[in-house]
Structure 1
Amino acid sequence: MSNVIHSNEVERWGVFELTLEGGSEGNPYKEISLEAQFQYKHRTIKVDGFYDGNGVYKVRFMPDSVGEWSYSISSRDARLDGSAGSFVCIPPSAGNHGPVRVRDAVRFAYEDGKAYRPFGTTCYAWTHQEEALQLETLQTLGSSPFNKIRMCVFPKRYSFNMNEPDCFPFAGSREEGFDWTRFNPDYFARLERRIMELQQLGIEADLILFHPYDKGHWGFDRMDAETDEFYLRYVIARLSAYRNVWWSLANEFDFMAAKTMDDWDRFFRIVVESDPYQHLRSIHNGTKMYDPDTLVLYDHSKTWVTHVSMQYWELSPTNAWRKRYRKPVVVDECCYEGNLPQRWGNITGEEMTARFWDGFARGGYVGHGETFVHPEDIVWWSKGGRLYGDSPERIAFLRDILDEAPDSTEPLDSFRDAPTIGVEGQYYLQYFGIHRPAYRQLPLPEERRFQIDIVDTWNMTIHTLDGEHSGPVRVDLPGKPYIAIRARAL
């Protein structure tokens, strides 16, 4: 038996990887398990290892404290049992702020305390495309405003994405059948490489663990309970050490006819039990013909749900969801900018931009998507590639404005006639959407002086009013839609 440690020094929230050589007889995925105990001073963290094929076993660990860590391996297999050693965790490199956590009822933050506001996009099946297209997607993301991407672990078969991937998560093929007791390590190695490349771009990987876009074609949407758990524990053992991973239990969970609410509760429990780092956890709903009376929601108040992930086509309910669940609300899907025939795929860039502003001004967060007809069906929302729409640069403009806002910015529900976020007595950002008032009475504190800006959210201009302002002030507006007011204490 020999051990290969990829590095004796690992930065905080980086990945320490230990490679062990063992046997390959029988079915190691099912018959051989290993567990590592990592110790730092008085703390011990248990981590599951996994079989990586060809007689190779791995353990991955994300250290969260600077200093010396020791480890030991336990396994019923004598070739793996008893391995031990240590490594040094060094301070994080620039740009490494740790995993994202929920800070409070409305905000996220990285583990080091730096504020994080999710500006997400959706590319469900981008990692299942040819290499050149995946690289183009990464290049596009690198120059985009997006710091989170929703993506499927399983391949997807749906409109504008009917191509068969050349690799699957389980051994076998659709034609010959899949071996539900053996994984395909090459499939997960590809996924891991993309997760790391996203991490280098500062992008969180919101991994969708289950989805309904299979309908028995491969069978990943209707595995039995034992296989579901087998899959979840393997995925978490392989991927949880990457700090930029989030777990989305499902996309449109209520469209998966083979699963019940009890199944989703069980999946959440498995994730909680298996993930030593407690990454963010959510679940995403369908909409049942966009009728709010038939909208099926998972109970986001359950303790294992860290934040609300919602599909809904307009943003005014954000206030109600935020107050009901007392957790950050991310409207991950509010329709897509594009021109597809489907009702969800043809809103304008102007409307997508407005929905972003409306959702953020209500104290929530909003996800982007793009669905333009393409001669080769390379649609961003599914396959990635390039962005063609008008909203991304305007979303970047919004992100720049919010990056300048105080970290303590929160919804100000006292402003009842226009959604407003800010910090009382310090900062106010108010958005009018389709409304076009001629002026606005802004009730600023008497004891402080403010700079007032009129923001044109579509044309991306900021007009600063002359002088300094305090107390109730009348702000004359241009009388057109998609205008915001920003007031900042001097």
Structure 2
Amino acid sequence: MKLMRALLAALLLAAAGAAVHAQDTAPVERWGSKELTLDGPRDGNPFLEVDLAATFRQGARAIVVDGFYDGEGRYKLRFMPDSVGEWTYETRSNRPALDGKRGKFTVGPAQQGNHGPVQVKGTHHFAYADGTPFWQVGTTSYGWTHQPEATERQTLATLAAGPFNKVRMLVFPNQDVKHQPPRFPFEGTPPKGWDFSRFNPAFFRHLEQRVGDLRTLGIQADLILFHPYDKGYWGFDQMPAEVNERYLRYVVARLASYRNVWWSIANEFDYLTNKQMPEWDRYFEIVQARDPYQHLRSIHNAMVLYNHSKPWVTHVSVQSGAIAEDFERAVLLRDVYMKPVVYDEVKYEGNIERRWGQLSAQEMVLRFWTGAIAGTYVGHSEIFKDPDDMSWLGKGGALRGESPARLAFLRQILSASPAEGLEPIDKWQEYPFAGKPGAYYLGYFGRQAPVSWPFALAKPGLKDGMRFTAEVIDTWNMSITPVPGVFELRRQDNYSFADKDGRSIALPGRPYMALRIKKALD
């Protein structure tokens, strides 16, 4: 009998090893997601009682990844390799069935369109891991992954055809008075009969599917981990701290291997009044410690700014109704925090009664352009009156506004700008230009409607005799008109250089005009 048991155990162990080895043959690209699935215990509460992690190695490098329980006796580990070649792994667990599993796999080059995760570049800008600049033109659709299948597919089709390369979106559903979400993050019965010790894997599988859909489209998923729009109805905004921490560890374990993930610790965090600043700091620290790839991290405010200078904050995410109306205000937080600044919410295009949802399309586009000239980044959304309570901001679906086409045009302009990012040329006064001194200038006149502009540039990087060409850009009508001739510079005063013949550039006397000036090719 003992011999038979030993043989049976050996066969089971060999079968388990063979199952893992079979997975090792699956191809994986650089910055892709390598997934391992292991069979393990179902007894008790695996979410609380089973620990699982794996160490992935390549040469002297070792990266530790947390595993997670995916229900029905399945345990998973996901790994995002950042270099090509052979990798090995070994699991560790407090359960023998999951402990000591070893394997190896080969990583190939990144496929077309895969540039890796977005990271901070320099001080104020972003780039993908392969160095490709990332010009953020983002939007917000809070609850789009909590809608019926047809609506979610419509949202994806809208995004595929639109200008946006980042979407801010909720993990937890928000309260919807007309429709109940199709799935919830915990086992239990709505509205408040939840077992906070047991996650609902189906909820998170669906979220992963949609994050993966965005990855296929080349769109970043800015995942909002907490929000105040529950208002106590489901109770996800009032969970105990230990539940919040367990949730964060679970979300990071499941989603960190997706290269297009950003972490937003909360939206309008200061409206969650049952959480104090030390608690928010702790949540940042958990995400930072558990994420082996160090995806971008920030937090979004309502009325009170978080201290974005703290080391776990990678970039500034701010709501302000007025700060992006002109470039001199928009530049301020760059200088305060010395990090990339994203004005994720600057009011929205729409026609509702609330003051934050009444921007014209022109005003929405203006905020993007003034943000760009300030060396910052701006976010979009829209909300229009609808009898079925459908809005892009709340639920996704289709876009109705006039700003997205103009934002696509802006994104084209940005993508042709210097790879280092747009830097304000003169933050003091009068020169609404950003770019690279002596080489590239992008200027924006906003609501002004000049009929001409005397050719004069702020002095950094300039000297007598330098020659430049110019283009007039109509940001609303989406046109680019070359200006005839070449402008040769001569020092004008202590602050500027001007065309040596005193020439000006004719403008059409309409608002929302811009200029693009480049050093002439010799």
Report the equivalent of 2:220. Answer: 204
Q: What amino acid is aligned across from residue 177 of structure 1 in structure 2? A: G
Report the equivalent of 1:182. Answer: 198
Mapped to 2, the partners of 1:225 and 1:193 lie a distance apart of 28
Q: What amino acid is aligned across from residue 422 of structure 1 in structure 2? A: G
Report the equivalent of 1:38. Answer: 56
Q: In the TM superposition, what are the counterparts of 1:156-305 in structure 2 within 5 Å?
A: 156-157=174-175, 162-175=178-191, 177-287=193-303, 296-305=304-313
Match of 2:515 among 460, 463, 485: 485
Could you tell me how far 1:100 is from its partner in structure 2? 0.2
Could you tell me how far 1:6 is from its partner in structure 2? 7.0
Mapped to 2, the partners of 1:243 and 1:399 lie a distance apart of 22
Q: Is contact 2:163–2:404 with CA below 8 Å preserved after alignment? A: yes
Report the equivalent of 2:121. Answer: 103
Counterpart check, 1:313 vs 2:331: no
Q: What amino acid is aligned across from residue 200 of structure 1 in structure 2? A: T
- Between 438-447 and 377-386, the greater mean CA deviation after superposition: 438-447
Where in structure 1 do 4 or more consecutive aligned residues deviate above 4 Å? none
Q: Is contact 1:73–1:80 with CA below 8 Å preserved after alignment? A: yes
Could you tell me how far 1:105 is from its partner in structure 2? 1.6
Q: What amino acid is aligned across from residue 432 of structure 1 in structure 2? A: F
Mapped to 2, the partners of 1:12 and 1:429 lie a distance apart of 35
Could you tell me how far 1:257 is from its partner in structure 2? 1.2
Matched position secondary structure for 1:395: helix
Mapped to 2, the partners of 1:413 and 1:172 lie a distance apart of 57
Report the equivalent of 1:425. Answer: 438
Identical aligned pairs, as a percentage?
Answer: 51
Matched position secondary structure for 1:305: coil
Mapped to 2, the partners of 1:97 and 1:213 lie a distance apart of 34
Q: What amino acid is aligned across from residue 247 of structure 1 in structure 2? A: W
Mapped to 2, the partners of 1:114 and 1:176 lie a distance apart of 46
Q: What amino acid is aligned across from residue 58 of structure 1 in structure 2? A: K
Mapped to 2, the partners of 1:409 and 1:273 lie a distance apart of 29
Unaligned runs of 5+ in 2: 1-12, 490-497
Could you tell me how far 1:7 is from its partner in structure 2? 4.8
Structure 1 residues 383 and 77, CA, compared in 2 at 3 Å: closer, same or farther? same
Q: Is contact 2:191–2:233 with CA below 8 Å preserved after alignment? A: no
Q: Is contact 1:106–1:410 with CA below 8 Å preserved after alignment? A: no
Q: What amino acid is aligned across from residue 481 of structure 1 in structure 2? A: P
Could you tell me how far 1:176 is from its partner in structure 2? 6.5
Mapped to 1, the partners of 2:211 and 2:348 lie a distance apart of 24
Q: Is contact 1:318–1:329 with CA below 8 Å preserved after alignment? A: no
How many matched pairs?
480
Mapped to 1, the partners of 2:192 and 2:268 lie a distance apart of 29
Q: What amino acid is aligned across from residue 285 of structure 2 in structure 1? A: R
Q: Is contact 2:425–2:431 with CA below 8 Å preserved after alignment? A: no
Matched position secondary structure for 1:115: coil
Matched position secondary structure for 1:188: helix
Mapped to 1, the partners of 2:60 and 2:34 lie a distance apart of 20
Report the equivalent of 1:131. Answer: 149
Match of 1:25 among 40, 43, 57: 43
Report the equivalent of 1:368. Answer: 380
Q: In the TM superposition, what are the counterparts of 1:382-461 in structure 2 within 5 Å?
A: 382-414=394-426, 416-443=429-456, 445=462, 446-461=464-479
Structure 1 residues 375 and 7, CA, compared in 2 at 3 Å: closer, same or farther? farther
Report the equivalent of 2:351. Answer: 339
